[in-house]
Amino acid sequence: MYPAPIENYLAPATVQEALKALGAQAVGEAQFIAGGQSLMQAIKSRLISPRTLIDLQHVAELKGISAEAGGVRIGAMTRYRTIAAEERLNGAYEALRDAASHVGDRQVRNRGTIGGSLCWNYLAACMPPTCIGLGASVELLDTKGEKRTLLAEEFLRGPLETARKETEILLAVVLPGAPPKSGSAYKKWGLVTDALPVVGVCAFVEIGDDGRCRRARLAVGGLATGPRRSKAGEEALAGAAAKDADAIAAAADRAAASTEVQADMWADASYRKRLISALAREVVATAFARAQARRPA
């Protein structure tokens, strides 16, 4: 497989230059390329045949993780490798490290980026459900200089669909501030080690001084409808403690029961529901343990 001819290749150094390059092309004819670990496959299989490629590799302002007032900001061009190694994400945002450290393989993690994954929103991807589970937002800037912020769950639609307009660039993923006693976890199940997820589940829990869950978030990926929150599962976790294995199992079952799943060559519908339930139990337990762990402030 080989790409169709590409007429133009641009490698801007700043966001402003990238948007200028985008604005100079007819709408839909230019494509941003981040790490390219999904996009190059799509280009080689000719699923897409962009006339112009705008490579974001030199845009330094899109890279890196920084603590912000009340949260954490992750530049769109931050690689899985960097996220997997970032200890400041431990606890509340640790699900992102779980997810990033098992995407594809080492070579993919050396190039692939969080922003690329979200903008591609492949059905079997780990970043989309993880960002939804963490209540993350995304920042977008358009060619006219207008900025907007959307929740990940608003941004991510069906597979390969997002709310990004053709005139916009994704700047960053912003994780909301989290109280000290909160924890998160992500786990996927695939056919072989670190394979694309047939199902992936992300859990976030915030606990009170009594150790009981005050707020929970659950999100599921690997769905034909796109990554989704399971509000039924979240509600069922309210008031549960880490030791309430029955309550956690019941919440996981509710999450599975209330999620619309497809049957495909990787898993039939009933098996997918079993996977959602089993993974949810595990990630909720891990999220509780991380919420309870003592960490330096």
Binding residues for another protein (CB under 8 A)? 1-9, 11, 33, 36-37, 40-41, 44-45, 53, 55, 57, 81, 104-108, 110-111, 193-194
Nearest to 74 by CA among 52, 100, 53, 49: 100
Closest distance between another protein and the C-beta of residue 47, in Å? 11
Residue nearer to another protein on the CB measure, 105 or 268: 105
Residue nearer to another protein on the CB measure, 29 or 268: 29
Nearest to 201 by CA among 164, 248, 151: 248
Q: Judging by beta carbons within 10 Å of its beta carbon (0-12, 13-18, 19+), is residue 1 exposed, middle or buried?
A: exposed
Using DSSP's 3-state secondary structure scheme, residue 76 falls into coil
Closest distance between another protein and the C-beta of residue 40, in Å? 4
132 — phi, psi (to 5°)? Answer: -65, -45
Residue nearer to another protein on the CB measure, 9 or 154: 9
Closest distance between another protein and the C-beta of residue 110, in Å? 5
Closest distance between another protein and the C-beta of residue 45, in Å? 7
Closest distance between another protein and the C-beta of residue 123, in Å? 16
Residue nearer to another protein on the CB measure, 107 or 209: 107
Q: What does the alpha-carbon distance between residue 76 and residue 141 come to, in Å, rounded to a whole number?
A: 12
CB atoms within 10 A of CB 224: 13
Residue nearer to another protein on the CB measure, 103 or 251: 103
User: How far does CA 242 lie from the centroid of its chain?
Assistant: 25
**85: alpha, beta or left? (left if phi > 0; alpha if psi -120 to 50):** alpha
